[in-house]
Amino acid sequence: MSPHPTALIADDEPLLREALARQLAQAWPELEVVAQARNGREAIKLFESFEPDVCFLDVHMPGMSGVEAAHQIGRRAHLVFVTAYDQYAVQAFAQGVLDYLVKPVEQERLTETVARLKERLQAAQPAPNTEALLLQLAAQLAQLQSGADPEPLRWIRAQVGETLRLIPVDDIDFLRSDTKYTMVAWRDEAGAPAEALVRMAIKELAAQLDPAQFAQVHRSVVVNLRAISHVTRGENETADVHLKGRTEVLPVSRSYLHLFRQM
């Protein structure tokens, strides 16, 4: 094995790319992350330039998915998929020879993946032929994306201390992205403000919510429209959302100010 194996990370969420790079630096100090891509097409371009030994590919990226990018990379690199979906894609991955990680990536799980990759690189094993499995995965993902609109999410499973809570979506005031998780601000049974963490990126979670009830107002914030008390205009075409019975003030970025056109 080369003393300095190389890797590419592709994810449209820069915070998640950086988090994975930091975790890899801890789990595999000899690994050199030579490129980071924002989407599948960029991943292909950077792969052709740097020819890394390993590619960590987010499954869901705009334009070209990680599965489509992997199909083009073929057996020229060892592939590891990173996914926020633990009910669909992971089942398919588990049946095959592909490595996968579930967001947010747990260090222990990453260490196991790194051990397998080291073993394959040390043995100079070629990347497995996964063409058939990749085609199967691409078809499954396409079916998921083109299927009838699913029912909006009604409950969110969240860890509160040592307890797993089922939080009714109607009780959520807002969501805010964290480096590794999404913070859920909600009301408990007594109506008191509460917080919990969800192991899912905010964009993945927001996609499952009723758009008539929840709106993204900032890159890192999704708010329950029923929880808004009032909105105040800020500087430089921004605004602030104030909530009923909560002290938090949520930012509205210029890109989402059109939601409050009457201001």
Mean per-residue pLDDT, 77-90: 73
For residue 157 the two structure tokens come to 């499973």
Mean per-residue pLDDT, 222-230: 94
Least confident of 38-42, 45-49, 140-144, 214-218: 140-144
Over residues 2-45, the pLDDT tens digits come to 568 999 999 988 888 888 999 999 999 999 999 999 999 999 99
pTM: 0.56
Q: What are phi and psi of 217, to 5 degrees?
A: -115, -10
Strand-pairing partners, residue 80, are 56, 99
What CATH number does the domain located at 155-260 have? 2.40.50.1020
Helices and strands (H, E) in the chain, number of each type: 7, 15
- 39 CB contacts (<8 Å, ≥6 apart)? 10, 12, 61, 62, 63, 64
CA 11, 17, 23, 28 dihedral sign is positive
Architecture of domain 6-145: 3-Layer(aba) Sandwich (3.40)
* In the chain, domain spans: 6-145, 155-260
For residue 135 the two structure tokens come to 């085609």
Over residues 86-122, the pLDDT tens digits come to 554 555 565 555 688 877 788 888 999 999 999 989 8
Largest pairwise CA distance in the chain? 64
Mean per-residue pLDDT, 55-69: 87
Q: What are phi and psi of 183, to 5 degrees?
A: -85, 130
Q: What is the pLDDT of residue 149?
A: 56
